[in-house]
Every structure is written in structure tokens, then in C-alpha cells.
Amino acid sequence: MNPKLFVNKRGCDRRAFLAMASIAALSHSELSFGQSYPAKPIKLIVPFPPGGGGDTLARLVMTRVGKELGQPIVVENLAGAGGNIGAQTATRAAADGYTLLYGTNGTHGINQTLYKNAGFNAVRDFEPVSQLTRIAAMVVVRAGLPVNTMPELLKLLKASPGRYTFASAGNGTTSHLAGEILKSSAGLSVVHIPYRGGGPAITDLLGGQVDMLIDVMPNTAPQVKAGKLRGLAVSTAKRVPAMPELPTIAESGVPGFDVSAWDAIFAPAHTPQPLIATLNEAIRKALNDPEIRAQLVARGAEAAPSTPAELGNFVKAEIVRWGEAVKRSGASIE
């Protein structure tokens, strides 16, 4: 046998062996990493104040997700700029699966057009994990406002342009844009009063400082059921099972009106896909829990788990859809 050929063959075999060993070691490392995750508590950034509709839903679902993962999920509320401050903070977190963002159609849809510079890219800066819910909003008015139905409210607002106010959870939120769409669709002149979240907006509405609000049902429904606020209509195309007695805005004098919110979980860009898969599986299990589903329905929300790919495609479509709505409303924030 030619010694030179023998050495080359052994060299080739050795290089092939080392390459295969490296691949095996990498696969084993990735597998072990995925199996050990999570090994400590996970931080969930909720970019809204405590007590609001988004904060309520995030805590409800993600507390159950933490039980599935075997580690607590600790909520950190970082409110401001319609959710942009919390979202920006999440983009700067380590991509290790231990910091997540509770995102919404506000942060990942509306704000991409409403703000001249949101400070983050909803597609490029995040890894989609799973959608959580779809959420209806409700038109509510303060107890002392002399209306009992949506048509009566529309008549009152049209009779006194600029006299009445509508609160929102902040510039760029669903409640803000829903109010703007209602104004443009029904030809109303109502003064917008933005707050730093749904909780503060509800507080002032209860106190009579503002006249009306269109906000997600997890925030509004409890107050209506307690008799503290008057619910007039829901924002979706169809009535909501939790409160079927409430008509839609569309059937109450504003044909074609259809606004709904959604929420989802995102991780910083480049978070390893095995970790994303672990999180997605835990979220799916949590949302399949009959008790969680019942609590969501009671709050006007519907469980809507997705794959990461489905959420990614959905966000891209929502940026376009909400962007068109923002442009039609004429709303813009520097």
C-alpha cells in the first residue's frame, strides 16, 4: 500500500470523525440547554401600568404558564408612550429566554405607524412566541351621563360638538385609536384625554372627570357588572358571549365598525428556537386549561394560541391593517 495514500486516507477519516464529533457535541449541548430551561424565574415586561386590561390578562395567563414551566414568571410593569418604553427595554435584554415581552396590537401594530419613531421594529427586533387572546372593547360612560344606549350617546355627542371628552389608556393604544375611528366614522367632535394606562383612565371615568371610554373588556366589564359604569356597546362585528345583551357599535348607528384587540408573547431577537418552542408549548397548555378559558371569556377575551410562525405572519399583516386605520383617523404622534 502506498504510505502517502494511507496517511491521506487516515487524515481524511480523522477530520470526518472530528467533524461528526463536533456536530454530536453541539446537538447534545443544545438538547441539554433546552431540557434545563428554565432554570430560574422568567421576567415578563408588561409595557402598561398595573391594574389595566393588558396587565390583568398578562398575569392571568402567564401565571399559569409559569406553573407549566416549573418556574415563576415575574411581571415588571414599564409603562409609557403607548407601550413603546417597555417594548424598547425588551429589545435590549439578553436573548436567553429569561426576559419576555407582553405585546399587543398597540405595540406591534398601531404604534408602528402612529408614532413617527416607535423606537423598535415589531418584526426585526423580536422573536414571536405565541398569540394569547383576541379581545373585545366596550363603550362605557360615566354614571351621571344622561344616556342609556349607544344611539342616545351618538345623538348627545353630535348635539354638542367639543363639549364632551373620551378617555384612553394612552396615545397609541387600542382605546385611543378606537375612539378616533368612532369620531371619524360617526362624524363626532369629542376631546381626547390620554392617560398612562387603562387603570388611571377608568379611575377618572368613575370619578366623573371624563365622559366616556372605549377600552378592552377585561378593563371595563368588571366595572359595568358592578354597576359603577354604564356599558353601551361592544366594538367587535359580533356580540360578545360574556355580555350578549350589549349590542355592537355597528348595529347601533355606525355601520361597519369593527375594532378588536389582541395580545401575544415575544422574546428578544435571536432567542434560541428550542427555548421559543418550550415557551410556546407551555402557553398552549395554559390556554387549553378550561378554567383559564372560562376566566378569559368572562373578561371578554377569547383564547387564541398560535405557532411562532403564525404569530410572525399575523404581526406583519396587522402592521398594515392598523397602519391603514391610523392614516384614515388622521392620528399621529411625534
Into how many domains does the chain fold? 2
* pLDDT given for residue 9 in this prediction: 44
189 and 241 together in one domain: yes
* Nearest C-alpha neighbor of 233 from the set 141, 135, 134, 139: 139
Q: What pLDDT is attached to residue 35?
A: 57
Same domain? 72 vs 174: no
Phi, psi (degrees; rounded to nearest 5) at 45: -80, 120
Could you tell me the CATH number of the domain that includes residue 325?
3.40.190.150
The pLDDT score that the predictor gives to residue 14 is 47
Pairing of β 212-216 and β 42-46: unpaired
Range of the domain at 311: 42-134+260-329
- Give the C-alpha distances (Å, rounded to integers) separating 282 from 46, 162, 226, 295, 307: 19, 49, 34, 18, 12
Local mean pLDDT, 10-residue blocks, the chain (334 residues): 42 46 39 71 96 89 98 97 95 98 96 94 98 94 97 98 93 83 93 90 97 90 94 93 93 92 96 98 98 89 95 95 83 82
CA distances (Å), 230 to each of 146, 168, 218, in order?
11, 16, 15
Cα–Cα distance, 241 to 246 (Å, whole number): 10
Angle between helices 53-69 and 217-225 (to 10 degrees): 110
- What pLDDT shows up at residue 249? 98
Say if residue 83 is in the same domain as residue 169.
Answer: no
Specify whether 68 is located in the same domain as 54: yes
188 DSSP 8-state letter: -
Q: Please tell me the predicted confidence (pLDDT) of residue 197.
A: 82
Same domain, 141 and 247: yes
Give the integer Cα–Cα distance in Å for 138 and 283: 27
Residue 5 lies in a domain: no
Q: Tell me the three cell numbers of residue 176.
A: 385611543
Output DSSP code: residue 333.
B
Cα–Cα nearest to 120, from 179, 182, 53, 45 = 45
Spatial separation of the C-alpha atoms in residues 60 and 53, rounded to whole Å: 11
CA distances from 54 to 28, 101, 135, 173, 194 (A): 39, 12, 10, 11, 16
* 45, 73, 112, 261, 320 from 127: Cα distances, Å: 15, 18, 17, 20, 19
CATH code for the domain in which residue 192 is found = 3.40.190.10
**Residue 78 in domain:** yes
The residue behind cell 428550542 is: 274
